[in-house]
A and B are shown apart, each in its own frame.
Chain A
Amino acid sequence: MNKTSAMRVGIVLWTLGIMTMAQNSGAREVVTPSRIQPSALLSIDQNRSTVVDRIVGEWGDRLAASSAGINRDQLREMLLAMPADQLLAASLAGSLDGLRNVLVHGLSAPVTTKPSLQVKALGDPGDDVVYTPVIPCRLVDTRNAFAAVYQGAGAFTGGEIRNYTIQGGNGVCLSQLPPGLNPSAVQLQVFGIPINGGSNGDVEILPQGSTFGSTATLVYLGNVLLTSASTTARINLANNQIGVQVRGGGADLAIDVVGYFKPPAGTVQPAAILWVAKSGGNYTSIQSAINAAAAVASATQPYLVKIAPGTYTEQVTLKDFVVVEGPAST
């Protein structure tokens, strides 16, 4: 068997494999992938002009001389427009009729687009979060050794839980975790320092209010002076807090914030608008409208209370996620 024959046998075997896979997967479909393509067909595509030249060189004149009514240029144009798998079939044609069948099929076969990837732009505030690294800042240091938002308070005893608000304060983390940032998770570097040589245990960090005891963020050993772990910690979104439990023999903790996850910035549209007016609105009292909105408003579904022109004699207390707005001119 010479080299060319060996190549042809290889291609035929490989083609049979493709066809077997297609049969196994059900009806034969022509897939037009948007990004990821089978590597074999990708090779055909990458060498499309070479493949087309070979087919035109082998069959062009004979096809033009037949009753098909297709000259070399038209054949080239058809081949260049073919999907990769059809072009592969054309390259394997062993006779003029075989080539004509491929060309006919290529012209009539339905093309089914089955996207192999779910394409979605990053930036959906309902689904996506964006990671923002920050200059590390110390949120917790129970030893009072370094400046921290929560500084001192002493070592955890075994089983103790403490809660920490993810927000800067006391001059620490002010720029990294400014008020109102409200991330959905933080990336933490956690350091466990056992209180003595016999103190072994573990640390678990969860959203504040969670039930502890099923996982561990860091395991510390009494004979190891300091153990460190990196973790992504989710936050209780209602109060912006994490809970930390130390189990076992007790340990000091230091926790650095190195980044945070947060939905991408975007304008959150109000879920509803309530009108306050002396007459014709939803409410005649501003506070009544605020209270009604606050009962259902949330961070992702804020409410807007719009107040019609006029003088309202009452005391008003604002509530979370309810914006109060008068007409554009005060």
Chain B
Amino acid sequence: MTVIQYAAASPTVTVGAVSELRNLTVINTRNAAFPGANAIAQSTNTANGVSTLDSISAIADGATDNVALYVTGGFLNVHASDVEAAPSGTQTGTEVGLWATGATSDVVVRNAKLAASSGTIRQSAHKELGANVRIENTQLKGTTFGTPSCFNNYIGSDFTLAICP
């Protein structure tokens, strides 16, 4: 097992290049309120860039206000990955698996898991106006916010079809 971990307000891993991240666990455990822990973030793409996360565990598990994957711009593909906020299940703030915002944000999630295990606001995916989010064949734990495009997603506990959005 290979883990990249950090505990700071800025993300553990910043993507947004013509690159791919594979077979890794990325953790952020910042113990502070907003902004809390953030495992992976992308704010833009380089000129030719589409980043891909493949078989990644992105975990944000600080004291509160955790966002596992935070996208404010650019294209990002997420495949076969666990994106989890607050997996320890004790947090009471705003806990979000994937948060996408910004007019240029375009995120595709396939065959993955988006989860928030606790929180006053507990969302698997949070899409703000302008962002483009597509989620397919993915386990969702926590509600979705906004209007992501969803296909064939399910709830992990009983494999029933997830309501999304």
Residue picked from A182, A315, A327, A328, most chain B C-beta under 10 Å: A315
Per-residue B-contact encoding for A35-62, CB less than 8 Å = 1, 0 else: 0000000000000000000000000000
Cα(A330)–Cα(B51), bound, Å: 19
Enumerate chain B residues within 8 angstroms of A317, measured Cβ to Cβ: 13-14
Cross-chain contact B47 with A316 (CB below 8 angstroms): no
Given contacts A315-B8, A318-B21, A319-B17, contact A240 B106 (CB under 8 A): no
Asked if B19 is at the interface of the complex by the 8 Å CB criterion, the answer is yes
A327 and B23 contact, CB distance less than 8 A: yes
Which residues between 282 and 330 of chain A lie within 8 Å of chain B, taking CB atoms?
A: 286, 299, 307-330
B55 to chain A, nearest CB (A): 6
Q: Which residues of A contact B47 (CB under 8 A)?
A: 165, 238-241
User: Whole-angstrom distance between the alpha carbons of A327 and B25 in the complex?
Assistant: 11
Bound-state CA distance A240–B11 (Å) is: 28
Please give the number of chain B residues whose Cβ is less than 8 angstroms from any Cβ of chain A in the complex: 35
Whether the Cβ atoms of B19 and A319 lie closer than 8 Å is yes
- Evaluate contact between B6 and A330: CB separation under 8 angstroms: no
Interface contact A316-B13, CB-CB below 8 Å: yes
Contact in complex: A307, B24 (CB < 8 Å): yes
Does A33 belong to the interface (CB within 8 Å)?
A: no
Contact of B75 with A by CB under 8 A: yes
Q: How far is the CA of A308 from the CA of B57 in the complex (A)?
A: 16
Contact A312 B4 (CB under 8 A): yes
Contact mask B1-35 → A, CB, 8 Å, 1/0?
Answer: 11111101011111111111111110000000000
B 40-62 to A, binary, CB cutoff 8 A, 1 in contact else 0 = 00000111111100011100000
In the complex, are the beta carbons of B3 and A324 less than 8 A apart? no
Chain A residue nearest in CB terms to B2: A326
- Residues of B near A241 (CB, < 8 A) are 47
Distance to closest chain A CB from B135 (angstroms): 18
Closest A residue to B77 using CB positions: A180
Given A318-B13, A320-B18, residue A313 in contact with residue B5 (CB < 8 A) = yes
> Nearest Cβ distance between residue A96 and chain B, in whole angstroms?
75
A209 part of interface (Cβ distance < 8 Å): no
Any B CB within 8 A of the CB of A154: no
- The distance in angstroms between the C-alpha atoms of A320 and B48, with both chains bound, is 9
Cβ of A10 under 8 Å from chain B: no
The complex places the Cα of A320 from the Cα of B18 at a distance, in Å, of 4
Which chain B residues lie closer than 8 Å to A314 at the CB level? 4, 6
- CB <8 Å contact, B4 and A318: no
Is A315 touching B10 in the complex (CB atoms < 8 A)?
yes
Count residues of A near B (Cβ-Cβ below 8 Å): 34
CB pair B22–A323 under 8 Å, yes or no, is yes
Say if the beta carbon of A98 comes within 8 Å of chain B.
no
Q: Does A115 contact B (CB under 8 A)?
A: no
Cross-chain contact A307 with B50 (CB below 8 angstroms): no
**Are A179 and B1 in touch, CB under 8 angstroms?**
no
Which of A241, A309, A311, A318 is packed against the most chain B CB atoms within 10 Å?
Answer: A318
A316 contacts across to B, CB distance below 8 A: 4, 12-14
Q: How far is the CA of A326 from the CA of B26 in the complex (A)?
A: 11
| 20 further contact pairs, Cβ within 8 A, besides A165-B47, A326-B24, A327-B2 | A179-B75, A180-B49, A240-B47, A311-B5, A312-B2, A312-B4, A312-B5, A315-B11, A315-B14, A318-B14, A318-B15, A320-B17, A321-B18, A322-B19, A324-B24, A325-B22, A326-B22, A329-B1, A330-B23, A330-B57
10 pairs, CB–CB < 8 Å, chain A vs chain B: A286-B4, A311-B5, A315-B14, A318-B15, A320-B17, A320-B18, A320-B48, A323-B21, A330-B25, A330-B57
Residues of B within 8 A of A (CB): 1-6, 8, 10-25, 45-51, 55-57, 75, 106
Interface residues of A (CB under 8 A from B): 165, 179-180, 182, 238-241, 286, 299, 307-330
